[in-house]
Structure 1
Amino acid sequence: MGISLQQMLRQTSMDTKRPLMGHSTAKKFVHIAIAILLLFVGSLSGFSVLSVLQKSAKWFPDATSVEYEGSSIHIHHTAVVKLHIGLANATNKPITVEDPLYASCSNRWNGLSLIDLAFFAEAAYFDPLSNDTAQFISTIFDNELGDVHIHLPKLNTKTGSKLDFFEAYIPMLNTSVISVRGTDIWRFTDFIEDVKMFFEPVVFAVLSSIFPTIRIWPDVTFSTLIELYSELIGLFGLQHESWYYHELLDYVTSLKDRKVVLTGHSMGGGIARLVGSIVGTPSVTFSPPGFVQSYSKLIHHIGGTSMKVDRATLHHHSFAVIPEYDPITMIDAQAGMTQKISCDTPHLSMQLSCHMLEGTLCNLVEHCGSPRRRISSCRFEHNIASVTEDFLPKLLAAVCKPEILVSLAVAAAIMLSMILRRRHRRMYSPVPSPTHRRRKKSQSPDRHSQSSRGKTQPAHPSRHVRRNSVI
Structure 2
Amino acid sequence: MGEGEGCGSLLPQMPSLRHGFKLLRTALWYICFPEEVTVYIDPIIRFIFTVYHLPPIALVLALTHSGLERIVWVLIVPVAQQMEKQPYDSSCMTTFMLGMYHIFLLILPYSTLGVAVATLGHKVLHCFLETMVDAHSTHQGKDYPLFAARLRFIMQDRQRYYIFLVVLFLLVSVALSGLHTDLLVAWPAREPWVVSGAWCIIALQVSFVWGSAISHPELPPHPFIWRRIVGIGDGEFARFFCGTWWKSYIHYMRYIAIEMVALIAFVALFFRGPLYVLSSSVELVMYLNMPHLVGHAVVSISASIINIQCSLNWLRRHSDAVIPVIFIASPFQLLLFRAMLYFRHHQMTVLLLIGVNVLFIQRVIDLVREFDVTEAGSVYWKYVDKDEPIPPYLSVILENAYETKSSHVDVASLDYLIDIKAMKIHRDGEEVDLERKQITEYGNAHSFIWDGRFYAYTVPRMISVQSSRHFGGKHFRRVYILLRMITSCCLMAFTALVMGLLFQAAFPQLHPLPVRVSVSADGNALTVDHIVLRMHLLSGRADVTPTLPIASSAMGSASAAFKWHNATSLGEDWYSSLCARTFHDISIWEISLLALASYLSNDDEVKEMLDFMSMHMGSDWVVRERHGKDCISIDSSTQPTGWDGYYDFYSAKHDLSIIAVSGTDMTSFRDFLIDVNVFFEVVLYHLLSNIIPGAVILPSELIADLIRLASLPAAKNREPETWETLISSRNTNLRVCENNNYRRDFFADVYNHLAFVGSRPNPPKHVLLTGHSLGGAVASVIGSRMGIHAVGFSAPGISLSRKKFGIDLENIHKFVTRVISSHDIFPMIGGSGGEEHHVECLAKTRELCHAMEFLVGTLWRSCGSIRARYPSIHSVV
2-structure distance, mates of 1:372, 1:253? 34
2-structure distance, mates of 1:231, 1:15? 47
Asked whether the equivalents of residues 95 and 375 of structure 1 are also in contact (C-alpha less than 8 Å), the reply is no
2-structure distance, mates of 1:229, 1:136? 42
Match of 2:711 in 1: 230
Residue 170, structure 1, aligned to residue 677, structure 2: no
Asked whether the equivalents of residues 140 and 374 of structure 1 are also in contact (C-alpha less than 8 Å), the reply is no
Residue 203, structure 1, aligned to residue 684, structure 2: yes
Residue 268, structure 1, aligned to residue 763, structure 2: no
The SS at the match of 2:526 is strand
1-structure distance, mates of 2:569, 2:615? 18
2-structure distance, mates of 1:246, 1:352? 31
Match of 2:529 in 1: 76
**In structure 1, what residue type is equivalent to 2:857?**
C
Match of 2:794 in 1: 287
Change (3 A) 1:232 1:86: closer
1-structure distance, mates of 2:680, 2:484? 17
Gaps of 5+ in 2: 1-139, 142-416, 418-424, 430-472, 547-566, 630-640, 716-740
Match of 1:392 in 2: none
1:55 to 505, 509, 512: 505
Residue 376, structure 1, aligned to residue 874, structure 2: yes
Match of 2:673 in 1: 192
Asked whether the equivalents of residues 291 and 333 of structure 1 are also in contact (C-alpha less than 8 Å), the reply is yes
Alignment map for 1:30-49 (pairs within 5 Å): 31-49=481-499
Shift of 1:162: 3.3
The SS at the match of 1:167 is strand
Change (3 A) 1:373 1:95: farther
**In structure 2, what residue type is equivalent to 1:62?**
L
Asked whether the equivalents of residues 152 and 165 of structure 1 are also in contact (C-alpha less than 8 Å), the reply is no
Change (3 A) 1:24 1:73: farther
Shift of 1:113: 0.6
Shift of 1:310: 2.5
Change (3 A) 1:323 1:30: farther
Residue 212, structure 1, aligned to residue 693, structure 2: yes
Match of 2:428 in 1: 17
1-structure distance, mates of 2:474, 2:839? 47
2:516 to 53, 58, 65: 65
Asked whether the equivalents of residues 95 and 376 of structure 1 are also in contact (C-alpha less than 8 Å), the reply is no
2-structure distance, mates of 1:378, 1:26? 59
The SS at the match of 2:711 is helix
Alignment map for 1:380-399 (pairs within 5 Å): none
Alignment map for 1:386-425 (pairs within 5 Å): none
Match of 1:339 in 2: 837
The SS at the match of 2:875 is strand
Match of 1:151 in 2: 624
The alignment of Structure 1 onto Structure 2 pairs a total of residues equal to 347
Shift of 1:205: 1.5
1:134 to 607, 617, 631: 607
Match of 2:756 in 1: 254
Alignment map for 1:299-318 (pairs within 5 Å): 299=806, 309-318=807-816
Match of 2:593 in 1: 119
CA RMSD of aligned residues (A): 3.2
Asked whether the equivalents of residues 253 and 279 of structure 1 are also in contact (C-alpha less than 8 Å), the reply is no
Gaps of 5+ in 1: 1-7, 300-308, 380-471
The SS at the match of 1:297 is coil
With structure 2 as the length reference, what TM-score do the two structures score?
Answer: 0.37
Percent of residue pairs bearing the same amino acid type: 22
Match of 2:133 in 1: none
Match of 2:803 in 1: 296
Asked whether the equivalents of residues 277 and 314 of structure 1 are also in contact (C-alpha less than 8 Å), the reply is yes
2-structure distance, mates of 1:215, 1:90? 52
2-structure distance, mates of 1:135, 1:279? 31
2-structure distance, mates of 1:322, 1:358? 13
Match of 1:359 in 2: 854
2-structure distance, mates of 1:232, 1:275? 17
Which fold has the larger relative contact order, with Cα–Cα distance below 8 Å and residues 6 or more apart in sequence? 1
Asked whether the equivalents of residues 514 and 666 of structure 2 are also in contact (C-alpha less than 8 Å), the reply is yes
Asked whether the equivalents of residues 817 and 835 of structure 2 are also in contact (C-alpha less than 8 Å), the reply is yes
2-structure distance, mates of 1:229, 1:133? 39
Match of 1:221 in 2: 702
The SS at the match of 1:254 is helix
Match of 1:245 in 2: 747
Write out per-residue CA displacement over residues 27-54 of structure 1, whole angstroms, 9 at most, x where no aligned residue. 6555444423322221111111111111
Write out per-residue CA displacement over residues 70-102 of structure 1, whole angstroms, 9 at most, x where no aligned residue. 532221112x21112222349999986322111
Asked whether the equivalents of residues 620 and 652 of structure 2 are also in contact (C-alpha less than 8 Å), the reply is yes
Structure with the bigger percentage of strand = 1
Asked whether the equivalents of residues 141 and 374 of structure 1 are also in contact (C-alpha less than 8 Å), the reply is no
Asked whether the equivalents of residues 95 and 377 of structure 1 are also in contact (C-alpha less than 8 Å), the reply is no
Asked whether the equivalents of residues 270 and 290 of structure 1 are also in contact (C-alpha less than 8 Å), the reply is yes
Change (3 A) 1:96 1:209: same
**In structure 1, what residue type is equivalent to 2:526?**
I
2-structure distance, mates of 1:53, 1:142? 41
Write out per-residue CA displacement over residues 226-248 of structure 1, whole angstroms, 9 at most, x where no aligned residue. 122234898xxxx7444111011
With structure 1 as the length reference, what TM-score do the two structures score?
Answer: 0.67
Structure with the bigger percentage of helix = 2
Write out per-residue CA displacement over residues 370-406 of structure 1, whole angstroms, 9 at most, x where no aligned residue. 2322322222xxxxxxxxxxxxxxxxxxxxxxxxxxx
2-structure distance, mates of 1:150, 1:233? 33
Write out per-residue CA displacement over residues 2-49 of structure 1, whole angstroms, 9 at most, x where no aligned residue. xxxxxx99xxx999736xxxx767765554444233222211111111
**In structure 2, what residue type is equivalent to 1:355?**
H
2-structure distance, mates of 1:134, 1:196? 32
**In structure 2, what residue type is equivalent to 1:50?**
G
Residue 87, structure 1, aligned to residue 539, structure 2: yes
The SS at the match of 2:527 is strand
2-structure distance, mates of 1:242, 1:84? 37
Shift of 1:326: 0.8
Alignment map for 1:440-451 (pairs within 5 Å): none
2-structure distance, mates of 1:85, 1:364? 13
